[in-house]
Amino acid sequence: MNNYYLKRTIRAVLTVWIVITLTFGMIRLLPGGPLEQLRGKLLRQGVSPSRVNAMIESYQNVRPNQSLPEQYYEYMTALLTGDLGQSFLQKEPVTAIIGDALPWTVFVMITSTLFIFLIAIVWGALMAYKEGTTFDLLSSSASILFAAVPFYVLGIGLVIVFGYQLELLPTGHRLSPEVEPGLSLLFVLDAVDHAILPIASMVITGAGLQVLAMRGNAIQVLGSDFVRVARLRGLSDQRISVRYVARNAILPMYTGFLTLIGFNLGGSIILEQVFSYPGIGYYMYQALEARDYPLMMGIFLVITVALVLAVYVADLTYGLIDPRVKSGDSREAY
């Protein structure tokens, strides 16, 4: 059993290490490469070659005249001390930018994912109980329809209607200009106000598939022998729906729930662009446009680590919620 946890941990660390190494290699293998481009740009601007080298070194934790293994060693040690280099664009350390942006993205994405699953569990279970009725049919159709709409299309629509036409909600940014971050009610309300539209566009388009998944699970459990036996044993409907149906129908969705949080962090690149919401996705887009490689790599790393972490947590905790998986050997998220 301990062996299992050890194996999972090693695998997670290994995955992250491979991703770091690949990004390191890719940056250097690209023809020309961002550093060459930067060097050319700076030299054309008339900066002295020794200053150019110094700047590149600070941007990338790389000394251009070092051999590749040496560069790799330096880069990795810098990473381990938490140094992701300097952003070309913002003239700030990458860690500072990510540290400022990440909480906002995590807030939006975790809230969205929680709402998605809350809706999925309640609605899906209701549909299963009313299988074959008009309610079930309409809900299924609606679920498929909403699931087919891309979240950024819905997002743009929401901004136009609620932001510009009705002027009910802000069209972008994470806070109003006059509000200072702090532990005040005003700050919390303003933050929620700005997050409503991004969260709504994620939830409305993301819930459909999960609702259908929950419906399927619940129908399967409702038709199982143990539910029939429980009814004959005279258990109350309430107990059957909570302890028997809900519990057994939700279990298979747990892993999906955690991994969806990880995937959604990646999805933030487009979402935050639509809502001009300065989270890590917003900066990722800017970094891509401006070829700000250190920032790009830093955010890429964060998204990767988040996904690996989600799968890792799912693997480790599944055994706690499902008694059938003590060692976890038979149920791995990926």
Q: Which residue, among 87, 91, 99, 26, has the nearest Cα to 61 in the 3D structure?
A: 87
* CB-nearer residue toward another protein: 156 or 251: 251
247 in contact with another protein (CB under 8 A)? yes
Angle at 254 between CA 248 and CA 258, to 5 degrees: 175
HSE (side-chain half, CA atoms, 13 Å) at 316? 15
Cβ–Cβ contacts within 10 Å for residue 79, how many?
17
* CB-nearer residue toward another protein: 60 or 248: 248
With tokens 């919620």, the residue in question is 321
Least distance in Å: CB of 241 to another protein?
A: 13
Per rule CB under 8 A, count of chain residues that contact another protein = 21
238 in contact with another protein (CB under 8 A)? no
Tell me how far apart the 2 most distant CA atoms of the chain are, in Å: 86
**Could you say which of 248, 255, 264, 286 contacts another protein (CB under 8 A)?**
248
131 in contact with another protein (CB under 8 A)? no
Q: Which of residues 250-269 bind another protein (CB under 8 A)?
A: 251
Letters for 289-328 (x = contact with another protein by CB under 8 A, - = none) are ---------------------------------xxx----
How far from 269 is each of 41, 147, 266, 276, 300, CA to CA, in Å?
A: 27, 19, 6, 10, 11
Least distance in Å: CB of 123 to another protein?
A: 22
Cβ–Cβ contacts within 10 Å for residue 99, how many?
10
* CB-nearer residue toward another protein: 173 or 228: 228
Angle at 132 between CA 126 and CA 133, to 5 degrees: 70
Sequence-distant (≥ 6) Cβ neighbours of residue 303 within 8 angstroms: 262, 265, 266, 280
- Say how far apart CA 214 and CA 268 lie, in whole Å: 25
330 in contact with another protein (CB under 8 A)? no
- Say how far apart CA 95 and CA 251 lie, in whole Å: 37
Least distance in Å: CB of 319 to another protein?
A: 12
* CB-nearer residue toward another protein: 82 or 234: 234
Least distance in Å: CB of 252 to another protein?
A: 12
173 in contact with another protein (CB under 8 A)? no
132 in contact with another protein (CB under 8 A)? no
Structural contact between residues 284 and 246, judged by C-beta atoms closer than 8 angstroms: no
* CB-nearer residue toward another protein: 7 or 326: 326
**Could you say which of 7, 41, 173, 228 contacts another protein (CB under 8 A)?**
228
Least distance in Å: CB of 318 to another protein?
A: 12
**Could you say which of 243, 327, 329, 334 contacts another protein (CB under 8 A)?**
243
Q: Which residue, among 97, 73, 103, has the nearest Cα to 85 in the 3D structure?
A: 97
7 in contact with another protein (CB under 8 A)? no
239 in contact with another protein (CB under 8 A)? yes
Residues that bind another protein (CB under 8 A): 224-226, 228-236, 239, 243-244, 247-248, 251, 322-324
